[in-house]
Amino acid sequence: MFGKYFTNKPDISQRTVLDMKPVLYQPNEVKTDDIFYTVYRNLEVIGGKLRYDITEIPPQKMVPPAGREFPKTFGHYHKARNPELYEVLDGRAYFLLQKYAGDPAEIEEAYIVEAGAGEKAIIPPGFGHLSINIGSEKLVLGNWIGLVEYDYETIKKFHGGCYYVLLARRLGLRSFGEGGNFNEGEDKRDSIEFEKNSNYKSVPELKKLKLRDLPELGIKNGAAHPILDLKNSPEKLDWLVNSEKYMDLLTIKKLYKEI
């Protein structure tokens, strides 16, 4: 399906609802083994050092495969603390970012990055992260990343990220439209609750962020500035490969504004 747009045939990996069970808020609600999300890796590769992937996360359904929790990716840390660049290509996303200092049970910083179509997110070095579909449509994400090894075990050990993103209890299943999905165009941010994951020893309060425009990195919010175009100026992606040179810039404060 991506053949016309991308240089490479992707390596496809999928996670089913059962695969996700270890990190779900309500693992016992799992009643199906549908596909939870799909990742198309290596659609573009630059110099063997950078790759462009796409992730598709279907929306919540009338009978949610995971109870009240919004659909999400498994979540991971990057072993070598690589940063990562995302863009929402379609749909509405929350990115959960979390960081610990010594003990992975003691989270010191936790953020939600809000992003709609055309908006970008950067995972700064050292942050564990996962992507959440809070919209009524399929969430489609593009990302650039350098050579990376993943640590899924730390997130698995604590049964998910440090917050669960849930449909507000007061709304229950009434929010799900008759067609099986949320009503078209409905803004569900008011219908969302954040619950601290009690499997962690300590979890800070969440702050909500949006990415700033970052001309020095060639990054601008808006669908007119797709990150895929950066394949034509790979020098602007050097911070993903040689992040140690860019540590002054790759901080939450420099990259984001609080909302």
Q: Within 13 A of 85's CA, how many CA atoms are on the CB side?
A: 29
259 vs 256: CA distance, rounded Å: 9
Stretch that binds Fe ion, among 46-54, 76-84, 158-166, 192-200 (CB under 5 A): 76-84
Site size toward Fe ion (CB under 5 A) is 1
Closer residue to Fe ion, CB minimum distance, 69 or 84: 84
Stretch that binds Fe ion, among 5-13, 78-86, 111-119, 214-222 (CB under 5 A): 78-86
Closer residue to Fe ion, CB minimum distance, 76 or 236: 76
CB of 143 to Fe ion, least distance (A): 7
Closer residue to Fe ion, CB minimum distance, 110 or 167: 110
Task: Give the single-character DSSP code of 254.
Answer: H
89 vs 141: CA distance, rounded Å: 5
Nearest to 116 by CA among 193, 215, 187: 187
Closer residue to Fe ion, CB minimum distance, 167 or 209: 209
Q: For residue 90, what are the β-bridge partners?
A: 140
Q: For residue 95, what are the β-bridge partners?
A: 113, 131
Stretch that binds Fe ion, among 4-12, 80-88, 153-161, 197-205 (CB under 5 A): 80-88
CB of 168 to Fe ion, least distance (A): 28
- CB closest to Fe ion, residue no: 84
160 vs 152: CA distance, rounded Å: 10
**Interaction site with Fe ion (CB under 5 A):** 84
